[in-house]
Amino acid sequence: MNTCCLVTGGAGFIGGHFVRQWLREEEGELVNLDKLTYAANPDSLCEIASNPRYHFVNADIIDEEAVREVLEKYRPRSVVHLAAETHVDRSIADADIFVETNVVGTQRLLEASLDYYRSLSEEEQEAFRFLHVSTDEVYGPWLRAKAANETAPYHPSSPYAASKAAADHFVRAYHRTHDLPVLLTHCTNNFGPWQHEEKLIPMAILAALGRRPIPLYGDGLQRRDWLYVEDHCRALRLVLKQGHAGETYHIAAGSEKSNLKLVEAICDWAERLVSELSYRPIKNLITRVDDRPGHDRRYALDTTKIKTELHWTPEESFSTGLEKTIRWYWENRKKFGLDEEI
């Protein structure tokens, strides 16, 4: 059977890393279907644009007919669904696009994939997988000592989390009702090069390097587990190859940090990179702002299942991943409007 992989949202942050990693380390073709919204970064894909195994389709997952055409043309063995609206603050201000993309878009992608799946031979159906990439935020604030496992109940707090929870339910429903061979993953906060600057780590890095105030919500004691994006992509590829249809897998690094400690670590690295400090230490740029409505205090995922069943562990520590990330932003600071002589 064709070894082609269809990726939705492959011009986004995680999607771009997945696409590049796949073409480096896997065989077969890859099709990237992306709407190219504000969060997309086509520049991150320049290095693979001429790769004969790479195909780009500018389309929206809402457009079911366009998705059907792509499935029919390229005949993929797998669909990796990464296309989503992801920024929590934006979902609080206006939830409509989150419902449209994350819920309706996922359902239409599932419907097109189901019809495609039914057109396959028995051997091709056995190999086919639909991998839906979700988030730890569907579980809501997790304040228990023991981390959430794959059977934890859903309690989403933000419109973003609610939209991803709804998408998860649709994915499971298509498996239970129609026997579509799906896989689900929930990951913790990703970070790495090429991330959109509205996210916490790149925002803090660029503010620190540019000597601008670094906004920090509330007391800064919200806790998150930080996963280097390349480790996440390796886990997704492993789940796609070895995961059991209908199963859910948690992907996390075990690198839980408060937002305050995270930003302070970024400031420490920024001071090492900048030869001449400003009139005050960079940490003094940390500025408290009003907390976000419904801001969850903590997320925590239990990764026992993926470690024991699929033997996955992250390769990067928080420290090595953060160093690589900060150095990338430093080396590419002109892309973000920072003066060459900081």
What is the pLDDT tens value at each position of the chain, 342 positions in all? 578 999 999 999 999 999 999 999 999 999 999 999 999 999 999 999 999 999 999 999 999 999 999 999 999 999 999 999 999 999 999 999 999 999 999 999 999 999 999 999 999 999 999 999 999 999 999 988 899 999 999 999 999 999 999 999 999 999 999 999 999 999 999 999 999 999 999 999 999 988 899 999 999 999 999 999 999 999 999 999 999 999 999 999 999 999 999 999 999 988 887 755 455 578 889 999 998 998 999 999 999 999 999 999 999 999 999 999 999 999 998 888 886 555
Active site residue 123: no
Active site residue 137: yes
User: Exactly one of 116, 117, 160, 329 is catalytic; which is it?
Assistant: 160
User: Exactly one of 29, 34, 60, 137 is catalytic; which is it?
Assistant: 137
* Distance separating alpha carbons of residues 306 and 123, to the nearest angstrom: 26
Active site residue 249: no
Q: pTM of the full predicted structure?
A: 0.95
Residue of 143, 139, 195, 141 whose CA lies nearest to 164: 139
Using only the alpha carbons of the chain, give its radius of gyration. Answer: 20
Query: What is the side-by-side order of every strand in the sheet holding 223-228?
Result: 189-191, 223-228, 256-258
User: Exactly one of 64, 85, 136, 231 is catalytic; which is it?
Assistant: 136
